[in-house]
Each structure stands twice: as structure tokens, then as C-alpha cells.
Amino acid sequence: MTSKPNLYVPEWLVAFQKEIAGAILLSSDTGNVICNYRKRYGMSQQEFGELMGLRRESISRIENGSVTPTFDFARKFINAAALIEAIRVERSKHKEIDVHFLENLAKELGFDREKLTFMLKIAVESYDKKLKKIQRSLKEN
């Protein structure tokens, strides 16, 4: 089985995906790794469940370690985190996000337009929140 070459996934994003995959595979607490990424992006378990196509209770069980995530879940999680990270990087570089690039990237990572819209909201909100926190911190010093 050969995989298709990535047309839109930049090398830095592939490295990011490998970092997450390594963290998941090498951790004795996979649920905690997943929980930390979910929190990094400011998502509730409910929102994360919607993104992953699971109920909030299933996300809770994965995060607390009572359920081991499947390979398909891990792959989808890694791709979702990568897409959210790409949106955040795009947001940091440009006032206007290149939606065409992100649509193609989302498609290549296995997400439809509806999921991309949801991830855009999550990513931009979490990026803007973090930026405001940094700006407040700088003003205080």
C-alpha cells in the first residue's frame, strides 16, 4: 500500500504530526496527552467530541484512561491537531487567512468543509485568546 504524496501539507506540519504521534505512542498516559492538546486549543470535551464524531462521555473515558483510543481515532486526532495548528500559524502570519489553502489542506487531511469551519472557529478563538493574554502580560511588565 503506497500513500499519496502530500500536496498541501508543509514539512513543518508533517514534523508536528510526528511529534504528536510520538507523544501518543510513547506516553504511558495517552489520555493525558490528548487532553493537553484539547486544552491547548481551548476545546471543551463536548466540542472535541463533535470534531471527532464521538460523544462527550467517550472523550472523557479516553482522557481518563478507561478506554484506549483506536488507531483510527489517533490518526484523526493527529490530523485535527495539525489542521488547527496550521490555522493558528496562518492566523499569526496574515490578517486574512488563506481559506483556499486551508480547504485543500483540510481535504488532504480527511476533513470536510463543515469540520473546517468548526476548526477555523476553534483555532482563531484560541489563538486570539492567547495573543490577548500575551499582550496583557507585556503591558503589566
- pLDDT digit string, tens, across residues 15-53: 999 999 999 999 999 999 999 999 999 999 999 999 999
Would residue 2 count as lying in a domain? no
Q: Write the pLDDT tens digit of every residue in 73-106.
A: 999 999 999 999 999 998 888 778 888 999 999 9
Would residue 41 count as lying in a domain? yes
Total domains, the chain: 1
Would residue 71 count as lying in a domain? yes
Q: pTM for the full model?
A: 0.87
Residue 3's φ and ψ, nearest 5 degrees, are -95, 150
Select from 18, 62, 13, 14 the least CA-distant residue to 36.
Answer: 62
Q: Which residue range forms the structural domain that includes residue 48? A: 11-140
Here the contacts of 115-118 (C-beta below 8 Å, separation 24 or greater) are 115/51, 116/83, 118/50, 118/51
59 in Cβ contact with 73 (< 8 Å):
no
Would residue 4 count as lying in a domain? no
Would residue 118 count as lying in a domain? yes
Would residue 6 count as lying in a domain? no
Question: Domain with 74 in it: what CATH number?
Answer: 1.10.3100
